[in-house]
Amino acid sequence: MSGISYTDNFIRFRKERKAIGCPSFLWFLAPFLTQAPCLFLWVTSIRRMSLDNHPGFDSGGALWFQNLTELPHSALGLIFPFLIASLHYINVQISFATSSVGKVDSLFAKVFKFYLDILTLPLFGIGLLIPQGSLVYWVTNSSISLIQQLTLKHPAVRSILGLPDKDASTAGAPSVESPSMQQRIPVQNLSPKELLSLSIKHLSREEKDQAISLLNLALVKDPDYVKAMVVMGQTLMQKGMLEESGKFLERAISKLSFAGHATEVEDIDLLILSSQWAGVVCMKQGKKAEGLVHLERIATFKEPDDPRCKAHYFDGLLLLSSALVDFGRKAEALKFLHSVVAFNPNYKYLLEELENEEDDFASNLAHSRRRD
């Protein structure tokens, strides 16, 4: 239907899985090889002990279930079957409310949930036909599952355990309303390019957290989307998250430089921007030598013809001039600053200050960049 073969889809899936650090396929077997055998062993052992009148089971209970070998009887005997059915229903509702499966508006998800809901009634009937010893184990197990789900759902607990915020993607990246169809489109259905455009709209409204959520989703969908990496790096830098910002910018530079010198206008522009911001991030972290390497990369490019790219190029040279002054390389700084002034005469006063060796050149340069 999509025109893409199963093999191509599988290859793309493996590529994206490796890019985001997913574990091996063998992890899918872990529940069946560990949890399932243990569950069956415990259930069958307790049932067998109850049916075989294991010593102590005939009087080891409490309250209305003194004899664990007996089947539920009398009105009080309905308590365990009712608890089992109720706990199953509550666990299903919580699971679908907190899991990504429950948020997917698909026929399969609806049918699967309906099946699990209906299963509540047969479970009540089954609870009337098994020994009370097994019912004690079943109620205990279901209760622990419920407590675990509620505990792991709490934001404070998730933060302590280092788990991601499940509401981040939905709260930080709301659905998009289509003007033509007047219906809300889940962000999970948007392409990486659309997610980037939406994140830029959030950035224009100073909604950085929402933009970061959208950019993360874009990079999950396309780990090689360099433009999203650059925007992410710049956004994180503005939030003061310098280490994380540097990682995204370094990754973008690596991607753009991997195949050799960038030739496309957009690639050159992205490499200039990522080098510029990576240099600033390193300088802010006190890694001045590393920052200078990034800024000097900009000077290796030929002056671009594209107006937007050219403006970014000379912005980079201006930052490079400031860094060279800090390293005592005034002659080189003057050379680049002459080029900047030839492009934008508004910076002529910085050139004059440097030529007159004024001490406040660097601070004036930083002030001029903030003003721009």
pLDDT digits (tens, 9 = 90+) for 46-82: 777 877 777 777 777 777 777 777 788 788 888 888 8
pLDDT band at 182; cut points 50, 70, 90: very low
Spatial distance between the Cα atoms of 239 and 100, rounded to a whole number of angstroms: 28
Rg of the chain over Cα atoms, rounded to whole angstroms, equals 31
Spatial distance between the Cα atoms of 346 and 366, rounded to a whole number of angstroms: 14
Spatial distance between the Cα atoms of 301 and 336, rounded to a whole number of angstroms: 13
**Degrees to nearest 5, angle at CA 98 with 92 and 104:** 90
Residues 6+ apart with CB under 8 A from 11: none
Of residues 22 and 256, which shows the higher confidence score? Answer: 256
pLDDT band at 179; cut points 50, 70, 90: very low
The pLDDT value given to residue 184: 54
Residue pair 179/205 in contact (Cβ under 8 Å)? The answer is no
pLDDT band at 331; cut points 50, 70, 90: confident
The pLDDT value given to residue 19: 61
- The answer, yes or no, to whether residue 41 has pLDDT greater than 60, is yes
pLDDT digit string, tens, across residues 147-158:
988 888 887 877
- The answer, yes or no, to whether residue 181 has pLDDT greater than 50, is no
Identity of residue 139: V
In terms of C-beta distances under 8 Å and separation of at least 24 residues, what long-range contacts does 169-178 make, across chains too?
A: 169/213, 169/216, 169/217, 170/103, 171/213, 172/209, 172/210, 172/212, 172/213, 172/214, 173/198, 173/210, 173/213, 173/214, 173/217, 174/210
**Degrees to nearest 5, angle at CA 331 with 325 and 332:** 75
Residue pair 333/319 in contact (Cβ under 8 Å)? The answer is no
**Percentage of residues of the chain with pLDDT beyond 90:** 1
Spatial distance between the Cα atoms of 218 and 192, rounded to a whole number of angstroms: 4
Burial profile 282-319: b = 16 or more Cβ within 10 angstroms, e = fewer = bbeeebeebbbebbbbbbebeebeeeebeebbbbbbbb
Residues 6+ apart with CB under 8 A from 332: 324
- The answer, yes or no, to whether residue 168 has pLDDT greater than 50, is no
Tokens of 344: 């934008």
Identity of residue 285: Q
- The answer, yes or no, to whether residue 43 has pLDDT greater than 60, is yes
Of residues 347 and 306, which shows the higher confidence score? Answer: 306
- The answer, yes or no, to whether residue 350 has pLDDT greater than 60, is yes
- The answer, yes or no, to whether residue 340 has pLDDT greater than 80, is yes
Nearest to 253 by CA among 270, 234, 240: 270
The pLDDT value given to residue 155: 77
- The answer, yes or no, to whether residue 294 has pLDDT greater than 80, is yes
The pLDDT value given to residue 368: 52
pTM of the model: 0.48
DSSP 283-332: HHTT-HHHHHHHHHHHHTSPPPSSHHHHHHHHHHHHHHHHHHHHTT-HHH
Chain centroid, CA 116 distance in Å: 30
Highest mean pLDDT among 110-124, 147-161, 224-238, 333-347: 224-238
Q: Supply the mean pLDDT for the chain.
A: 77
Range from 99-113, 184-198, 213-227 carrying the lowest mean pLDDT:
99-113
Nearest to 226 by CA among 236, 235, 237, 215: 215
The pLDDT value given to residue 31: 65
Spatial distance between the Cα atoms of 207 and 202, rounded to a whole number of angstroms: 5
- The answer, yes or no, to whether residue 175 has pLDDT greater than 50, is no
Question: First CA to last CA across the chain, in angstroms?
Answer: 51
E strand spans, the chain:
176-178, 183-185
